[in-house]
Structure 1
Amino acid sequence: MTSSLPSRPFVAGSKITAPRLFVGRTEELDFITSLMIDMQPVSINVVGPRWIGKSSLLYHFFQTYEQRVAEPMRYAVIYLSLQDARCQSEDGFYQAVARQLWLNLTVQKSVALVEPLRVKPFNRLAFCAAMGHYKRLGVLPVLCLDEFGPLFRYPQEFDNGFFDSLRSLMESRVLMLVVASHRKLEFYQRRHQLTSAFFKLWQVLILGELTEQEAQELVALPAGAIAGVTSALNKQEQRFVRHLGGRHPYLLQLAASLLYEARQSRQDSTWVKAEFEKQARHVPKPLWKAPKHTGCLVLSISGVMILMAIALLVISLLSPTPLWELLQQKVLGR
């Protein structure tokens, strides 16, 4: 049946919640699954700029993990955005995790898994005890934590003690985390001067643009999402969307959404292009997609720096005086 599919198959600006409209990321999903089912599960840091699809990836894994493993009842996978207001305190974080675990099918089917979540107050000690109890019952909690950065806004709550506690659970294979962030977690450790070894325990998964095939599957939605359904856009419209969005998941969704909207309101391609340029400005662009004058400027600066390096190397080879002494004489007047 098609009633469960949205009337508009494109989603721009928010995570994809309809599993059948999620396209691609097969390698990334397989990578997360492989580390989860390993005898020694390893936590994962999913890294990428805004709008690259980190939230959709984590949410889709949470929705579909049962289809990816032979024994789904051995895992309790949850999704939690740390932008949630409840996650502004340490105890609030633990309680938010407990609420999501309570909704997990594996947990709901076992009173023994529910009971540890009832403890009051549900603080660090209660959380660690609950996770240890899960391990004794042969269940691995996997926390997909989206938008990890906001935690660092509350240093009094999320300090080295908090991170060391999570590190201990991770090292004991009691808990697995799949954390999404704009930068590698070590960056936040340095910025906020944290000393916990929590930040050293990760496999890093860099999330980039879609493959060519994945990008084409996206613009052809909802065809492929369900048998017997045709694409919302015709071939010419799909090529137009690909021209605007390339292989970037958000830009493709944005272009397709605007084109779909334009067709409904009888706007032309000029309107679509104008709206696309306006809304796409906030998306980080790779250097090779920057405006031509910017690229030329960067290349010019790079060229000058290379020439300077060559000149310094030649001087150091021809002069009996060491290069550092020459620089001191010229720059410092010594």
Structure 2
Amino acid sequence: MTSQLLAPCPFLAGPMIEKPQHFVGREAELDYITSRIMGMGSSSINVVGKQGIGKSSLLYRFCQTYEQRVDNPRRFIVIYLNLQQAHCQGENAFYLAAARQLLNHPLVKAKPELMRPWKNIKSLDRQSFSGAIGEWKRQGLYPVLCLDEFEALFRYPKQFNDGFFDNLRFLMNSNVLRLVVASHRKLEFYKRRYKLTSPFFNGFEQVLPLGELREEEARELVSLPERMGAKAALSTEEQHLAKEWGGGHPLLLQLAASLLWEAQQQGLDVSWAQAKFEQVARRIPKPLWKIPPYLLTVRSFLFGF
């Protein structure tokens, strides 16, 4: 058995990308978030994009790399929270989940004085959470919460009401807390839909629409792990097919490349990978005009449009 057969697949289709070797591109977006969140006149940001476009991976990557992007990283603590998780489904549970992540940060662990404001962490409420991070500001430390799947909060209107959002807005205006919020639509849409009145939803002047990868980023993705000095897992022809099938959509590119890699490893025909790709690709939210031409033909045959 060759070393190539033993090598793991460098492509990851589906879950949030956590390992740096799987993450490609988005440098312009990461720089944008850094400059707005941590620069002069800092402001919170709403990252907007359809499911599968890479919002979760982008937020997680920002948490991983922010220390290399700013001059004084010890002024900031950046954490990631997925609000779909069960431990974020109530207001006090939200504060507890955020506090645990903040206190687990290496910078906090190395400075015991940063732990002192967080007494009785299990009984955190709106007032005690706000007081604790307010004390951090007085010590020159600014927490940044990257909140993924923000629309999950609207499923629990009794827990996450205007009072909750008003308090977040107050913390943002006081420069005590900074937020990077990922959602499928702009936050103002949810304000109207759920008839909320809090000015919180007007506090995101910075909106980052997350679209498809740039041409050079797509090319780098399908040639993995070449950028790390290794041989590309796919042949030149397979890379071309992956780009043809996936276009610039990060999830579709990862899916196409991973299936072509699997076919290669198992000695299967490319048609097997294509059939598998088409089966999954139809379930991924994607504007009709971005669907590759050969998929439009299949769609027309199956659905009559």
Question: What TM-score comes out, normalization by structure 1 length?
Answer: 0.83
Rounded to whole Å, the distance in 1 between the matches of 2:268 and 2:297 is 30
Q: Deviations over 1:258-292 (max 9, x none)?
A: 11111222211111110000001111232324537
- How far 1:223 moved relative to its partner? 1.2
2:137 matched residue in structure 1: 135
8 Å Cα contact 2:87/2:94 also seen in 1: yes
Other-structure match for 1:313: none
| 1:323 paired residue number | none
Q: Secondary structure at the match of 1:205?
A: strand
Contact 1:144/1:177 (8 A) holds in 2: yes
| Residue of structure 2 in register with 1:310 after alignment | none
Aligned to 1:167: 169
Quick one: structure 1 residues 293 and 266, their matched pair in 2 at CA, closer, same or farther if it must change by over 3 Å? closer
Q: How has the CA–CA distance of structure 1 residues 93 and 216 changed in structure 2, closer, same or farther, with 3 Å as cutoff?
A: same
Q: For residue 125 of structure 1, what is the aligned residue in structure 2?
A: 127
Structure-1 residue corresponding to 2:41: 40
Matches within 5 A, 1:132-281: 132-202=134-204, 203-224=206-227, 226=228, 228-281=229-282
* Change over 3 Å in CA distance of 1:141–1:193 after alignment to 2: same
Q: What is the alpha-carbon distance in structure 1 between the residues aligned to residue 38 and residue 44 of structure 2?
A: 12
Residue 107 (structure 2) aligns with: 106
**How far apart are residue 37 of structure 1 and its match?**
2.1
Separation (CA, whole Å) in 2 of partners of 1:241 and 1:287: 19
Equivalents in 2 of 1:39, 1:240: separation in Å? 44
Match of 1:303 in 2: none
1:20 Cα deviation from its structure 2 partner: 2.9
In the TM superposition, 1:285-300 aligns within 5 A as 285-289=286-290, 291=296
Q: 1:18 deviation in Å?
A: 0.9
Deviations 1:70-100 (A, max 9, x none): 1111000000100110111000000000010
DSSP-derived class of the 1:179 partner: strand
Counterpart secondary structure, 2:113:
helix
Instruction: Measure, in 2, the Cα distance between the counterparts of 1:91 and 1:284.
Output: 33
Equivalent position of 2:4 in the other structure: none
Residue equivalent to 2:15: 14
Residues 20-59 of structure 1 mapped to structure 2, 5 A cutoff = 20-59=21-60
Partner Cα distance (1:112, 1:41) in 2: 26
After superposition, give the CA deviation of every residue in 1:92-132 in whole Å (9 maximum; x if it has no partner): 00000001001112211211212222335111111100110
Structure 1 residue 39, shift from structure 2 partner: 2.9
Letter of the 2:184 partner, please give it. Answer: H
Whole-Å separation in 1 of the counterparts to 2:153 and 2:105: 24
In the aligned structure 2, how far is the partner of 1:256 from the partner of 1:105?
36
1:83 aligned onto 2:84: yes
Note the C-alpha offset of 1:294: 8.8
In angstroms, what is the RMSD of aligned CA positions?
A: 1.6
Look up the match of 2:303: none
Tell me if the contact between 1:40 and 1:173 (Cα under 8 Å) persists in the aligned partners.
no
1:40 is displaced (CA, Å) by 2.7
* Contact kept? 2:37, 2:45, Cα under 8 Å: no
Structure 2 portions without partners, runs of 5+? 1-6, 301-305
Number of aligned positions between the proteins: 288
> Alpha-carbon deviation of 1:65?
0.7
Whether the 8 Å CA contact 1:142–1:178 is kept in 2: the answer is: yes
Shift of 1:17: 0.7
Q: CA deviation at 1:192?
A: 0.5
Q: Which runs of 4+ in 1 moved over 4 A?
A: 292-295
Q: Please give the alpha-carbon distance, in whole angstroms, between the structure 2 residues aligned to 1:68 and 1:28.
A: 12
Q: Which moved more, 1:141-150 or 1:119-128?
A: 119-128
Report SS of the residue matched to 2:167. helix
Structure with larger Rg: 1
Q: Which amino acid aligns with 2:35?
A: S
| Percentage of matched positions with identical amino acids | 56
Maintained 8 Å contact 1:119/1:126: no
In 1, Cα distance between equivalents of 2:35 and 2:101: 23
